[in-house]
Structure 1
Amino acid sequence: MGLNANDRSIAGFTMAGHALVHWFETSIPIFLVVWLTEFDVGVSLFGIVVALGYAPFGLGALPGGILADRYGTKRLVVGCLVGMSLSFLVLSLATSIYTIALGLILWGVAASVYHPAGLALISTGVEERGTVFAWHGIAGNAGIALGPFVAATLLIFLEWSLVAALLAVPGVLAVLYGLSAEFDPTAAVAADADAGPDEALSASGLLGDSRTLFASAFAVVFILVTFEGLYYRGTLTYLPEILHGLPATDGLALPASLEGIEPADYIYVGLLVVGMAGQYAGGKLTGRVSPARGLGAIFAVLAVLALAFVPVTATGAGLAPLVALCAALGFFLFAIQPFYQNAVAIYTPPDVRGLSYGYTYLAEFGIGSVSIALGGFVLGELSRTAFFAMIAGFAAVGGLLAGALLVGGDRFTGTDDALEANADD
């Protein structure tokens, strides 16, 4: 079945937003290299400054979800695009580290609302949800790959301040497109949200809705996504560094015209590109495979793939096994995302979908970032083998939680009735 007009409109709108969130996000580390040369401050201080920008990206997901339920998903996504574009215009005018910090914080706050708002919009407005989740994920991967590529290419020819301004241009165009987009954000659900805006944002309403969500199968989904986030952040943060130190990549000769480019970088970008296929396959399969079964199967594969990196990254291992393993990792690492996004849509009621996705991406990007600190400690103090064992452990726990969801997901009933009761109190 093809997408109807409303589905296509929401798909285009959210794909633009998702691509640009990651377009901006992954270009920031490219600028960091230039800023360290431009401004006479240490790498430690600049690391703190960049962390100030990334922290709200995860921590702001929950408030973003609450605001999406209160003010509407389209308004939040357009506001996100406006804020991210303005933040890069602020960066383009920066003459000190303080202005850079301001721009990065503005970006993090603005970007944090996208995932709960955009995914809530898809879950309530789209009939062919799995297909749109797939294309939405592909757009995100395109932004992840294109952001650093375009930034690095432009920096060869232009000043960094001008490059920052140019990167904001697609954001401005997306704002204009978003303002003109027309769709029904609740076309796929029954219009039964009787609670008014004040109740949706009140402390008692928020507490009651949250208590009801975590008394349902969503509690399992939340913890499951936390372990997926630990796997995702830890792997994507340290895999480039690990690939750079392998004999298989260090010994690969590139043409003189590509001098200065590490072969390992091509493998890593290739992993992200293969992830687009994983997003599409995962999204299409959500209509045929239950979330719990799909999540359990993919977590099992991810655990095996993490352990497979131990022998493949050992001294003397060839390039072909390494490339094949990275391709498989890219496919399944992103194929899992439509499944947990669909799980949230299935196990939560429509009128708190923004809140539900807010909690989900607090788990994914907020709590999941703990693996960055854990991974750094394990790689520094223990070994690469211990690191991949830890990553595999995250997937194993996720698989067990998916099994619990499969066995006991139907045990939690009455979520809609409980939420309606909270609204009436």
Structure 2
Amino acid sequence: MNSNDRAIVGLVVLGHAAVHTYELSIPVLVTVWLTEFGTTEAVIGGVVTAGYALFGLGAVPGGVLADRLGSRTLIAACLAGMGGSFALLGLTPTAPTLGLVVIALSLVLWGAAASVYHPSGLSLISTGVEERGTAFAYHGMAGNVGIAFGPLATLVLLEVLPWRVVTLLLAAPAAIGVALALRIDVDETAAVDESDAEALGSDAGAADGEPSADADARPDGGSKTDTVDSLPAFRRGTRELFAGPFVAIFAIVILSGLFYRGFLTFLPDILGGFEVFETVRIAGTAFAPDRYVYVGILTVGVAGQYAGGKLTDRARPEVGIAIAMTALATLAIAFLPASNAGIVAFLAVCALLGFFLFFVQPQYQAAVADATPAGRRGLSYGYTYLGVFGVGALGGGVAGAILTWGSPGALFAVLAAIAGTAAVVATLALRARSG
């Protein structure tokens, strides 16, 4: 890698790890908030859903802003917003009502800030890094590190420090990241060759209603009017996406997002209800094994990500999606019975849930690429993250409501139905392509 590549990779690795560190430390904090503020899962679920929803809802406009303002600027703003939101959590009042209001505002700020990262970071890699494949590999690994070890760091700190101090400490890396992002000098278009630059220039004119003379000449199947730099271009691109096979993939990513949030948001709290995970004391310090099982589930997901990515080179992604979602539906049904079948059986089910929960992600990312022309790829991934993180955020609220007025058994039955529906959609999409 040249110096520009290394600078960009360093920035996106930091940004991606930070986003997922914050994202998956929130369920750990939920267990503390439930106890301190004496509230219900429904209330906390609604609060968390607000933040997670913005994480997805901002993805599409985030992509447009990245094109206009530059990815480095947006990544710096993302880190500043996320760090600021966790610093605000550290100032949460002890009064229950006011405290929940501050938590809600903090998570909304986090969601809005985090939403711009994925379109900005992926765009920066695709246009600025010469060794793009290596950069994407490091980027994915950094996300997995944040997914697995961010919650672990939160748990370890919570063992010895009050949660408000922990959130203040978690804000510090973001502040360092902002300083680095503003200091480094990168060429965001270093990997854009001359023909691509000319195409981008043609796009600007076409978006204003002036069709290019060679609008249909691109070999990748996209048109020269693909750049979304105006409202008419945005509407046109959206209509074209949802008039094709992308609509089935969009339904799948929404269902995947609902399962993801519905399963993870209250998982530490659910695990804490099992007798096998009763709190133990070691050298006078209380340890909650259930929280470390939660981290273990996320850690196994790293292997799932790798296996899912490798399978996309060997089979159509709809096949992998159908396999993963069928497995998740089966495991959701088996989750509670397994808790009574012994610790080994239960941990095996937990590990498989973590594996397939993340196995499906590279599968639907590959499906998006297969279902959309290259010129619409940025817009299509914006809608993908809108579906997964935006609409999918409702899974946290639904889970909270079910646990408040229903039972864990009812929650896992709903999760099984969601995963089963996604498997059916994937199977139908595969048959449509094959036919």
Residue from 150, 156, 162 that aligns with 1:147: 150
Partner of 2:81: 83
Partner of 1:116: 119
Pair 1:223-2:251 in alignment: yes
Contact 1:132 1:283 in 2 (8 A): no
| Change over 3 Å in CA distance of 1:33–1:246 after alignment to 2 | closer
Partner of 1:212: 240
Give matches, 1:153-192, under 5 Å: 153-154=156-157, 163-179=166-182, 180=184, 182=186, 187=191, 191=196, 192=199
Pair 1:342-2:350 in alignment: no
Contact 1:116 1:355 in 2 (8 A): no
Deviates more, 1:377-386 or 1:257-266: 377-386
Partner of 2:16: 18
Give a deviation string over 1:333-392, Cα, whole Å, max 9, x none: 111111212222333344443322221112112211223333344445555444333222
Q: Matched residues, percent identical?
A: 47
Q: CA deviation at 1:239?
A: 3.1
Q: 2: CA distance between counterparts of 1:174 and 1:248?
A: 40
Deviates more, 1:261-270 or 1:288-297: 288-297
Letter of the 1:264 partner, please give it.
D
Contact 1:134 1:281 in 2 (8 A): no
Q: CA deviation at 1:326?
A: 0.8
Give matches, 1:45-60, under 5 Å: 52-60=50-58
Partner of 2:426: 402
| Change over 3 Å in CA distance of 1:293–1:126 after alignment to 2 | farther
CA RMSD of superposed structures (Å): 3.7
Give a deviation string over 1:120-152, Cα, whole Å, max 9, x none: 445666788777656544433322343344345
Give a deviation string over 1:62-101, Cα, whole Å, max 9, x none: 3223323443444432321232233344555666756665
Letter of the 2:385 partner, please give it.
Y
List runs of 5+ in structure 1 lacking aligned partners.
412-425
Partner of 1:292: 318
Give matches, 1:23-422, under 5 Å: 23-28=21-26, 43=39, 52-92=50-90, 97=99, 102-122=105-125, 135-154=138-157, 163-179=166-182, 180=184, 182=186, 187=191, 191=196, 192-193=199-200, 194-196=202-204, 200-250=228-278, 254=280, 256-257=282-283, 259-313=285-339, 315=340, 317-381=341-405, 383-409=407-433
Letter of the 2:343 partner, please give it.
L
Letter of the 1:142 partner, please give it.
V
Contact 1:78 1:178 in 2 (8 A): yes
Q: CA deviation at 1:293?
A: 2.2
| Change over 3 Å in CA distance of 1:91–1:329 after alignment to 2 | closer
SS in 1 for 2:142: helix
Q: 1: CA distance between counterparts of 2:67 and 2:246?
A: 17
SS in 2 for 1:245: coil
Deviates more, 1:210-219 or 1:386-395: 386-395
Give a deviation string over 1:271-297, Cα, whole Å, max 9, x none: 111111212222233333332222222
| Change over 3 Å in CA distance of 1:325–1:62 after alignment to 2 | same
| Change over 3 Å in CA distance of 1:258–1:110 after alignment to 2 | farther
Q: 1: CA distance between counterparts of 2:377 and 2:10?
A: 20
Q: CA deviation at 1:210?
A: 0.6
Q: 1: CA distance between counterparts of 2:12 and 2:3?
A: 14
Q: 1: CA distance between counterparts of 2:312 and 2:187?
A: 23
| Change over 3 Å in CA distance of 1:311–1:161 after alignment to 2 | closer
Q: 2: CA distance between counterparts of 1:185 and 1:400?
A: 41
Q: CA deviation at 1:112?
A: 1.2
Letter of the 2:204 partner, please give it.
G
| Change over 3 Å in CA distance of 1:135–1:340 after alignment to 2 | farther
Q: 1: CA distance between counterparts of 2:386 and 2:365?
A: 13
Contact 2:75 2:116 in 1 (8 A): yes
Contact 2:17 2:142 in 1 (8 A): yes
- Count of matched residue pairs: 403
